Structure 1
Amino acid sequence: MSQRTVRRVGAVILAANVLLVVAKGGVWWATGSLAVGSEAVNSLADSAYSVVILAGLYLTTRPPDFSHPHGHERIEPFVSLFIAVGVFAAGGAVLWRATTSVLSGEFGAGGTSLAAVGVLVGTAAVKFGLYRYCLRAAEQTSSPALTATALDNRNDILTAGAALVGVLGSGLGLPVLDPLAAGVVSVGILYTGYEIVQDNVDYLVGSAPPEVLRAEIVRRALTHPDVEGAHDVIAHYVGPEIDVSLHIEVEGDRTLFEAHDIETDIVQSIRELDEVDDVFVHVDPKELGEWKDDETIDELVDEEPARK
């Protein structure tokens, strides 16, 4: 996916959320429904962080420069955490309003508004479309910011459904369902924030990638015909991408040119993994006795010990 396409995703998200704010805000003003109002606040928060996403995607898709030789992708986890802050703020505000309404007994206007039903059903449809759109883009780009946005849009489908239950319940003579539905919406909003934080903290603290990916990295090193073993394999996130370093064992009578070719082959093989950015390979002559047993390697390859 090109840089222009990635930025277009951010623009589409922003435009859709702004339209939803206008639609929900108008219905909220006309009906006084707390459920619809909570959805309007939710979309307002979505619009605010859509601006951040758009700016973040612009920065992350800029080419490498002298100050940022690896590009700007590593800013994405910070963009995602900023999204989470906005989500938590919106969820907290909606929960406070719903709670105070239930405790005080002050509910919105009764009756079922066709406009409220229509805007909530329309919201669910739009959010489902945005969820699929963002998820597809995230899978193609390995973008944590787009993944976070996809999750938010997925949960917005559920919150719109909860708000719809509140509106319909109010029309059936149970006005307390309106603020209760708003409370359910707030829980969904807060859970979205939690998911975003959970997904992006690993990128910031340099956690190891999933075990299946680590196993594939080790296998790509060990399948080279001249590699006798591997040890000290370290793979960790640097931003949304992965840096890999490892030691390989080769016969000590290899020439410098041959050792260089082996190293280059392994680097290129591991770099073919979409998630991997940099690969650092240290070549050890087997005869030096630097080999060390590495139980992690044995577990990852799920076969005989790595050393042949």
Structure 2
Amino acid sequence: MSSAVSDKRLNLSAGLLSCAVALTLVVAKLWAFQQTGSLAIAATLADSAMDLMMSLAALAAIAYAAKPADDDHNFGHTSAEDLAALGQSLIILASSAVIGTAAVWRLWQGDPSLPENEGAGIAIVTLSIVLTLGLVVWQRRVAARTNNPVVKADSLHYLGDLIPNVGAILALWASSALGLAQVDSVVALGAALLLAFGALRIGKEAWDALMDRQADPEMIAGIAAIAQGFDGVHGFHDLKTRRAGSRVFVNLHIELDGDQSLHRAHAIGAALRRAILHTYPGADVLIHKDPVGVQKHPDDPSV
């Protein structure tokens, strides 16, 4: 089995496990919410429901983005990941708004009602924490092997989910042991704010990619460092990048000795491309070769 096929199967396994865990947690937390009536449980239920949608979208994006370029999509299909992420962020924002509004309303009304059956709720949330930790461990192993950014992002997202889950346990405990009913609403409001900030971050990253924003400055500096002083390369210019899902497209003009053979110039460009891909294996690199000292023709476009 080739390394590419093996990596694809590992990525798909991480996506399938993510969906399975999210579905299990949605069912379990729905039961827990019916038993307790806790807004903190409702917040984690909404979070898990969003997780399920995001995991399904991530799985679809992994499968679709893995398709090779074709006649209709010459640069591949990785932008599907950004479209999915942008849609997810809007849904998460709506969910956080509903939860936050309910929490503020309870705090404003001073509702003294306490959650019920706190023990059942604590047990379900504890199960959620255990399953989430197991999923994150597997996703980290897969990401370390495949370097897939979708799996990495999903892992970070689930790791962040541990915060509202721990908060829900604290809220249920405070309600049961101390009779502090409003702790439940405060925790739910905090969870809603975390959801909103996470949705804005995900949405901004997806929007930036869809608008062809350049790659991270660290990556651009890294590519420049590789090209600078590369054997046979006398200089470079017009280094441009753009992101599309998990793929980064790189365009680079290098300056070569114009008196050498075309075969030699090609070999230098190919070697530089391999060096860039070795450091950034998810990139798509296109290198244009210019003779040293060549001047741009006045009829050439400015971009």
Aligned residue number for residue 250 of structure 1: 256
CA apart distance, 1:252:
2.8
User: Quick check: 2:78–2:244 contact (8 Å CA) kept in 1?
Assistant: no
User: Quick check: 1:243–1:279 contact (8 Å CA) kept in 2?
Assistant: yes
Q: Decide whether aligned partners of structure 1 residues 280 and 60 sit closer, same or farther in structure 2, where only a CA change above 3 A counts.
A: closer
The one of 190, 196, 203 equivalent to 1:190 is: 196
Aligned residue number for residue 207 of structure 2: 201
CA apart distance, 1:194:
2.3
Moved more, 20-29 or 249-258: 249-258
Aligned residue number for residue 293 of structure 1: none
User: Quick check: 1:35–1:163 contact (8 Å CA) kept in 2?
Assistant: yes
Amino acid at match of 2:85: S
The one of 121, 125, 142 equivalent to 1:120 is: 125
Structure ranking higher on relative contact order (CA contacts 8 Å, 6+ apart): 2
Q: Decide whether aligned partners of structure 1 residues 150 and 191 sit closer, same or farther in structure 2, where only a CA change above 3 A counts.
A: farther
The one of 265, 280, 292 equivalent to 2:286 is: 280
Deviations 1:16-39 (A, max 9, x none): 111111211112112222221222
Q: TM-score normalized by structure 2? A: 0.85
CA apart distance, 1:276:
4.8
User: Quick check: 2:90–2:203 contact (8 Å CA) kept in 1?
Assistant: no
- State the aligned residue count: 290
Gaps of 5+ in 1: 291-308
Deviations 1:122-177 (A, max 9, x none): 22222233333334434544444334322321221000111112111111111111
Aligned residue runs from structure 1 range 1-308, under 5 A: 2-110=7-115, 113-171=118-176, 172-288=178-294
CA apart distance, 1:107:
4.7
Moved more, 73-82 or 60-69: 60-69
In 2, the alpha carbon distance for the partners of 1:240 and 1:102 equals 42
Q: Decide whether aligned partners of structure 1 residues 261 and 126 sit closer, same or farther in structure 2, where only a CA change above 3 A counts.
A: same
Amino acid at match of 1:4: R
Q: Decide whether aligned partners of structure 1 residues 207 and 53 sit closer, same or farther in structure 2, where only a CA change above 3 A counts.
A: same
CA apart distance, 1:99:
1.4
Deviations 1:224-282 (A, max 9, x none): 33222222222332433222222222223212232222222222322333355332323
* SS in structure 1 at match of 2:279: coil
* SS in structure 2 at match of 1:246: strand
In 2, the alpha carbon distance for the partners of 1:86 and 1:275 equals 32
User: Quick check: 2:11–2:151 contact (8 Å CA) kept in 1?
Assistant: no
Q: TM-score normalized by structure 1? A: 0.83
CA apart distance, 1:287:
4.8
Q: Decide whether aligned partners of structure 1 residues 138 and 81 sit closer, same or farther in structure 2, where only a CA change above 3 A counts.
A: farther
Q: CA RMSD in A?
A: 2.4
CA apart distance, 1:208:
2.6
Aligned residue number for residue 294 of structure 1: none
In 1, the alpha carbon distance for the partners of 2:167 and 2:215 equals 36
* SS in structure 1 at match of 2:127: helix
Q: State the identity %.
A: 25
In 2, the alpha carbon distance for the partners of 1:68 and 1:288 equals 34
